[in-house]
Amino acid sequence: MGKRKTAAQIRRMERRAVARGEEYERIEDGKVVTAEERSCKPSPEDTKLEAARKLADVLDNIEKSEDMNAKERRAAKRKAEAIAVQEASNDLQDGDTAPSAAELLELLKNSDNKMKKSKEKESSSNKRKRGEDDGDEEQTQKKTPYVAFVGQLSYTSTIGSIQKHFEDGLGRKEATEGNMKIRLLTHKDTGKSRGMAFVEVDSPELLHECFKMHQTYLDGRRINVERTAGGSSNEKKTAKLEHFREEHKKFISDTVERIFMEYQENGDLEEGELDGSVISLCKRHSMPTVEASLKEYLESKGDEKVKMKNRSAYFSKIITRVSTGEERMIKGRPVKREKD
């Protein structure tokens, strides 16, 4: 048997074979080993780790065994160490020295520590990523709050009076201090109201309910309730605001037409009883005002004391009075409006 070639000699012969366009055939233990077989063969480091892992398991079992005395344990350990060293030395190249049992166990310890740190690093990275994802989701939610802008407020209106106005208009079950937050805009130098406020609610459904308070009277002023418009520039804000206003107009228009349609289907109103000018007038008032005016109109129809020459004109007077909060009068005497 010829002398075993060193790793350096094998590498030189492989390079020469490649230069000739050939594949170098390595002979190990009298057999030809192909490149594919060499690539599948474990590295010397892997062989050492495998031997070290087996040794650690065997030593652990020896320590746990209750069938051996101290002398037998020492003998079993020496035998296990010798086997591990032999297995770890199978793939040694010329010039390499066989590792001791202690070196194998140290190699295994370092490998396990390295793997543990790698897993901890990966776990930490995943936690940070999940945290960032949660943060992004939370930030997205903060970017899209449900906020309505309230304008044309009286300078005497306060957060408390605005809250009460929405509670009375929407119902105390719908609008509460728990699901509605009001921020009154004030001048920095004086702290006095600027006649504007923001109403933030906790759901899109409640936001649409707030739009019903559009064109209602508060402290002697007819207020505007519109959706806010965010944006990084005035142009974007203006464009968004125009879009929201168009949406709001359509919402009011559809709601008014639905209310009149329901009254007609119930037989309370005849088709064409109130002309188009009345419908248009209703679309410029709040929904509570429209509903209260229709209720009063229907009550008046059944009252023999009330004479209606022009029903549309009569209704127009009702809605104008209701919107300003004036009392209903019949023959000069006030009539209290029933509350729902």
pLDDT digits (tens, 9 = 90+) for 43-88: 677 778 888 888 888 888 888 888 888 888 888 888 888 888 887 7
Same domain for 159 and 218, yes or no, is yes
Residue 338 pLDDT grade (very low, low, confident, very high; cuts 50, 70, 90): very low
Angle, vertex CA 39, rays to CA 36 and CA 45, nearest 5: 160
Decide if 51 contacts 84 (C-beta within 8 A).
yes
Same domain for 63 and 34, yes or no, is no
Decide if 105 contacts 56 (C-beta within 8 A).
yes
Same domain for 216 and 157, yes or no, is yes
Task: Identify the sign of the CA torsion 31, 34, 35, 38.
Answer: negative
Same domain for 50 and 37, yes or no, is no
Count the domains in the chain: 4
Sorted by sequence, the CB contacts under 8 Å of residue 256 that are 6+ apart come out as 279, 282, 283, 287, 290
Same domain for 20 and 94, yes or no, is no
pLDDT single digits (tens) 209-240: 888 888 888 998 889 998 876 555 566 666 77
Containing domain of residue 55, as a range? 44-113
Give this prediction's pTM.
0.42
Whether residue 272 lies inside any domain: the answer is yes
- In this model, does residue 115 exceed pLDDT 70? yes
Same domain for 22 and 54, yes or no, is no
Average pLDDT for 322-332? 59
Instruction: Identify how many contiguous H helices and E strands the chain contains and give both numbers.
Output: 11, 10
Same domain for 196 and 267, yes or no, is no
- In this model, does residue 184 exceed pLDDT 80? yes
Residue 131 pLDDT grade (very low, low, confident, very high; cuts 50, 70, 90): low
Same domain for 219 and 148, yes or no, is yes
Average pLDDT for 4-29? 69
Same domain for 187 and 224, yes or no, is yes
Whether residue 181 lies inside any domain: the answer is yes
